[in-house]
Structure 1
C-alpha cells in the first residue's frame, strides 16, 4: 500500500483482497458448473453459468480498480479447484444458491467493517454489492424454485428457457 496516498486502512484493504478471492472463486465455480452442464447436454444452463462466471469476474475486477483508486494494495489469493461433478442438476443449482448466499454474507461483513472503521468511501462503494447480491440471491432462488417445480426428469425443459 502506498502510504503517501492511501485512503484505506490495512484491515479494510486486507478484507477487500479476501473478497476479490471470493469473487474470483465464485467465478471459477460457475465456470465449472457451466462445463458440467455442457457435459450433461444442457446448453442453456451452461450458457447461464458462463455468464454468471463472467459477472463474478467483473465483480472481482471492480474491487481491484477500487483499491487502485484509494491507494490500496492488491493481493490476488490463490483459488482452490472447484467442484466439477454433481449428483444432479438440482444439486448443482443448490450449490449456486449456496455460493451466492456465502458471497452475500461476506459483503455484509465488509459493510460492517467499513462502518466500524469509519471508512465512508468503502461503505459507499460496497452499497453497489449489497444491491447486486440481493439480485443474485433472488435469481439463484428463482432458478432453484423453477428447477424443483420442473423436477430432475424435466430439467431439460427449463434448460431450453435459459438459452
Structure 2
C-alpha cells in the first residue's frame, strides 16, 4: 500500500505525463500541417512514449492499492512560429517532466518507500536520455543554421531520430 502523500505526487506525475503527451501531439500536428513530415513522425512517437509513461505510473499506483485520479491537464498554449520553436518547446517540456520526477523521487526518499524509489529509477534514467536528446537536437539544428535548405535538413534529422 502506498502512503497518501506519495499517492498524491504519483497522480500529479500522471497529469504531467498526460500533458506532455498532449503537448507532443500538438507539436506533431503543427509539424504535419507545415510540411515537416519527419518531425511529425518524431513527435507522434514522443506523444505515444509519454502516454506509455503515464500508463506505467497508473498501473504501478493500482498495484500499490492507490487511488488513481486522472486530472485534466493544464497545458499552456505554445506559440510555435517555426521548427526552432518546436525544438525549444520539446526541450522545455522535458525539463518540466524532469523537475516533477525529481520531486517524486525526493518524496519517496523522505517517505522511505524503497519500492517506489526502485520503480522511479527508470524515470530518472529516461529523463536523462530525453533531456540529452532534446539538447542534442537543438545543438544540431543550430549547426545546420537558418539558411538554405535548413528546414529540410532539420526535418530529416528528426525523421532519423524517430527511426531510432
Q: Taking structure 2 as the reference length, what is the TM-score of the superposition?
A: 0.91
Task: Tell me which residue corresponds to 1:4.
Answer: none
Alignment of 1:47-58 (within 5 A): 47-58=41-52
Among 2, 18, 22, the residue aligned to 1:8: 2
CA–CA distance in 1 between the matches of 2:74 and 2:68?
Answer: 19
- RMSD of aligned alpha carbons: 1.3
Structure 1 spans left out of the alignment, 5+ residues: 1-6
- Is the alpha carbon distance of 1:152 and 1:34 closer, same or farther for their aligned partners in structure 2, counting shifts above 3 Å? farther
SS at match of 2:81: coil
What are the superposed Cα offsets for residues 24-71 of structure 1, whole Å, 9 maximum, x if unpaired?
A: 100000000000011110100000000000000000000000001110
1:82 CA displacement:
5.3
For residues 47 and 159 of structure 1, the distance between their equivalents in structure 2, rounded to whole angstroms, comes to 10
Per the alignment, residue 73 of structure 1 pairs with: 67
Give the conservation status (yes or no) of the 8 Å contact 2:78–2:89.
no
Match of 1:94 among 73, 88, 109: 88
Note the 1:1-150 alignment, pairs <5 A: 7-81=1-75, 83=77, 85-150=79-144
Which structure 2 residue ranges, 5 or more long, are not aligned?
160-164
Aligned partner of 1:3 in structure 2 is none
Name the CA shift for 1:84/1:36 in 2 (closer, same or farther; >3 Å): farther
Displacement of 1:161 in angstroms is 3.3
Measured against aligned partners, the alpha-carbon deviations of 1:90-123 in whole angstroms (never above 9, x if no partner) come to: 1111011000011001111111000101111111
